[in-house]
A and B are shown apart, each in its own frame.
Chain A
Amino acid sequence: MTSTPAELRPRRTAARAGSVFLSTHPRARLALLLSAPLFWLGLVYIVALVLLLVTAFWSVDSFTGQISQTWTLDNILTVITGSLYQTVTLRTLGVALLVTLIDVALALPIAFYMAKVATPRMQRILVIAVLTPLWASYLVKAYAWRSVLSQDGILEWLVAPFGGHTPGYGLPATIITLAYLWLPYVILPIYAGLERVPDSLLEASGDLGGKTWSTLRLVVFPLALPAIIAGTIFSFSLSLGDYITVNIVGGANQMLGNLVYTNVGAANNLPLASAIALIPIVIIFGYLFLVRRTGALDNL
């Protein structure tokens, strides 16, 4: 046996001792690696959510604006029974569903073209084109729509010769703007999902006599469904929580986010705001629970 000359042996430093310890103790390595991000996740996500939940059961002194930490169910009851909250919840749900439908209808053909028809070069260009709007600020895009939809905006100018009118500010404007804002988030998962569908399946369907429509319906759609649902989760949940777009182009309408915002900002009623914030959380959890089995969550 030859022994290593002393000068070639690594020196025993603290750093080296540490690295020896870590390489022989994989669990300690994992703990060190994960503790910081997990601590962060726990603090920011879980604790904040729990605090939100707890705050919903407190009340606020209307004059001084101080939160009093006595337990009460009043806020939850107000939110469940108040006609205002029911109307606004339904309106918000309606907007979110319509936005999602529009986005899926627009995204399916675009994504299909990108994944199955376009040349590789065109494919890259299209992916970039879909991603580019995400580089611009959300606010810039919303304000751009505000001027497009205005009474003397470009839309009015375009459709006026044909007897049309801009919808003006209101719910239609909100739906249009939100559908525009979230479209890339719907296209991308569907595109990724369709790309994974083997071309050979489409050819096999054609060889077996399947027409274009039946191939789409019976082969492509079932395979792409989890990806489509993954896309809807984005547009649905993003619309459900939005309050800025409706503030900019929504005219006098409010959505759930606005009620939360005014209760935090104007009314200084944090407990009621947290109680309202629970509505979209419950809806989203319900939605996720429904789509859980389709495998959509693996496509996010």
Chain B
Amino acid sequence: MKRIPPTARRGAATVGLAIASIALLTACGTTAANDGGGEAAEELGEFEGQVSLLAWPGYVEDGTNDPAVDWVTPFEEETGCEVTSKTYGTSDEAFNLMKTGEYDVVAASGDASLRLVAAGDVAPVNTDLIPNYEGIYDFLKMQSWNSVDGEAYGVPHGYGANLLMYNTEVFPEAPTSWDVVFDKASENSGKVTAYDSPIYIADAAVYLMHHQPDLGIENPYALDETQFQAAVDLLKEQRAHIGEYWSDYLKEIQAFETGDTVVGTSWQVIQNVLEGSGAPTAVTLPEEGTTGWSDTWMIASEAKNPNCAYAWLDYIASPEANAQATEYFGEAPSNEAACEFRSEGSCEAFHAGDEEYASQIWYWSTPIAECLDGRTDVECVDYSGWTEAWSEIKG
């Protein structure tokens, strides 16, 4: 809670004036292209001079974290749109931050995008206004997580897998299975980590798909009551061995650096940072397969700077920018031509464009009561059930 000290009251008139002028300015800004709500823009107007982005860490880099990593400055110089950005740690956080109406653009994973559409927080995107949309892989366009009723709601950014990170001193050989964090977690009790979000239940479901086939799990995001209970039980067993859960990626980096955590789920970008600091860690993709993400740049329905927002969507889909951003995060790019701009072999490492491989990653999507795997005889546990269970698992 923010309390204004009594001495500040004298400045109230000035503040009031400032608020009024800001309101006036923003009112001018909104009249440009988008009327808000469910309509896509017809044509673009003049750039507003600024744009505010909400994205996963590592998606919007302007050189502050690493002077060599910067794809925001060229965009600002090209368009004159000053970029402000905020990072988030979980899709739920992104979903809530979008409700504040402060962001023009959001990079959303599949477990947030549909909810954003349903809540009316993002607007359809007119892909004709985005020349670089053409270069995007076809198998990423108009998918269930980035379009609704045949209407595109954004531009695909990149996709990747949640990986198993381990301390190479504790595991001289790379683990081949997720069992090191489930059935064999007791071997490193107190030093195991897991992603702190209800969506992590799907990781347990992927593990069960492989190890308990009689449960009949077809899709880790479509779990009926029995399947869901099995996954929750597995996670409750795991809970006894968890040192800490992570959603702040900096906290996980620190825990792996100090050795407080030695094994657990992670992202490639975390490994990149740890490698830079010389920590004894590595990542691997276990045999059971894994969950992953396929992200979409979306525009807020109440965007204050819709023209700069469109400019950003086009820029980040361009081969050069898409290559830089996705390589830095450690994921496959969405633009076919991006691989020409990435370092040797990095596209192959992420199986970019390999439709077959891409289909083996279980991309985050929001669980709903109507089973996503097409079953009609049962009702699946919806996301509110998942969040409730997640609190219970953590205890």
Which residues from chain A sit less than 8 Å from chain B, CB to CB?
36-37, 40, 44, 62-66, 84, 87-88, 146-147, 150-153, 168-169, 250-252, 254, 259, 262-269
Contacts and interface: CB of A to CB of B under 8 A. Distances in A.
B288 interface: no
Nearest to B384: A62
A288 to B, nearest CB: 20
Contacts of A64: 115, 118-120
Given A44-B3, A64-B119, A266 B387 contact: yes
B267 interface: no
8 contacts: A62-B384, A63-B366, A147-B258, A150-B260, A168-B243, A251-B242, A267-B92, A268-B96
Contacts of B260: 150-151, 168-169
A65 B259 contact: no
Contacts of A150: 258, 260
A63 B243 contact: no
The 8 A-B pairs at the shortest CB distance, nearest first, are namely A62-B384, A266-B92, A267-B387, A64-B119, A252-B242, A150-B258, A251-B244, A64-B118
A84 B3 CA distance: 34
Interface in B361-378: 366, 368
A159 B36 CA distance: 62
A269 B384 contact: yes
Contacts of A65: 95-96, 99, 115, 119
A266 B88 CA distance: 11
B90 A62 contact: no
Contacts of B244: 169, 250-252
Contacts of B387: 262, 266-267, 269
B394 interface: yes
Nearest to A60: B384
B118 A63 contact: yes
A279 to B, nearest CB: 14
A36 B12 CA distance: 12
Given A62-B383, A252-B243, A268 B391 contact: no
A151 B118 contact: no
A62 B382 contact: yes
B6 A37 contact: yes
Contacts of A152: 258-259
What range describes how many residues of B lie at the interface?
35 or more
Contacts of B254: 146
Question: Chain A binding site: helix, strand, loop or mixed by DSSP?
Answer: loop
B395 A168 contact: no
Contacts of A62: 382-384
Interface of B: 1, 3-4, 6, 9, 90, 92-93, 95-96, 99, 115, 118-120, 190, 197-198, 239, 242-245, 254, 258-260, 366, 368, 382-384, 387-388, 391-392, 394-395
Contacts of B95: 65, 268
Contacts of A151: 258-260
Given A63-B118, A63-B382, A267-B384, 13 more contacts: A36-B9, A62-B382, A62-B383, A65-B96, A151-B259, A152-B259, A169-B244, A252-B244, A252-B394, A259-B391, A264-B96, A265-B92, A267-B92
Contacts of B388: 267
Nearest to A82: B392
A169 B255 CA distance: 11
B391 to A, nearest CB: 6
A251 B325 CA distance: 32
Contacts of A146: 254
A87 to B, nearest CB: 6
A250 B6 CA distance: 37
A269 to B, nearest CB: 7
A36 B6 CA distance: 10
A88 to B, nearest CB: 8
Nearest to A41: B3
A42 B119 CA distance: 33
A254 B115 contact: no
Given A84-B392, A267-B387, A251 B243 contact: yes
Contacts of B258: 147, 150-153
A87 B395 contact: yes
A268 B92 contact: yes
Given A44-B3, A267-B384, A254 B394 contact: yes
In the complex, which of the residues B4, B119, B384, B391 has the most CB atoms of chain A within 10 Å of its own CB atom?
B391
Contacts of A63: 115, 118, 366, 368, 382-383
A66 B119 CA distance: 7
A268 to B, nearest CB: 6
Contacts of A266: 90, 92-93, 96, 197-198, 387
A263 B394 CA distance: 14
* Residue from A36, A65, A87, A263 having most chain B Cβ neighbours under 10 A: A65
A150 B93 CA distance: 28
A36 to B, nearest CB: 7
A268 B239 CA distance: 24
Contacts of A254: 391, 394-395
B302 to A, nearest CB: 15
A162 B198 CA distance: 42
B13 to A, nearest CB: 13
A152 B388 CA distance: 35
B137 to A, nearest CB: 29
A166 B4 CA distance: 42
Nearest to A249: B244
Contacts of B242: 251-252
B211 to A, nearest CB: 23
A263 B392 CA distance: 13
Contacts of A251: 190, 242-244
Contacts of A153: 258
Nearest to B96: A268
A172 to B, nearest CB: 13
A238 B256 CA distance: 31
A267 to B, nearest CB: 4
B358 to A, nearest CB: 27
A252 B384 contact: no
A259 B395 CA distance: 10
Chain B CB within 10 A, most for which of A63, A64, A150, A169: A63
A44 B198 CA distance: 33
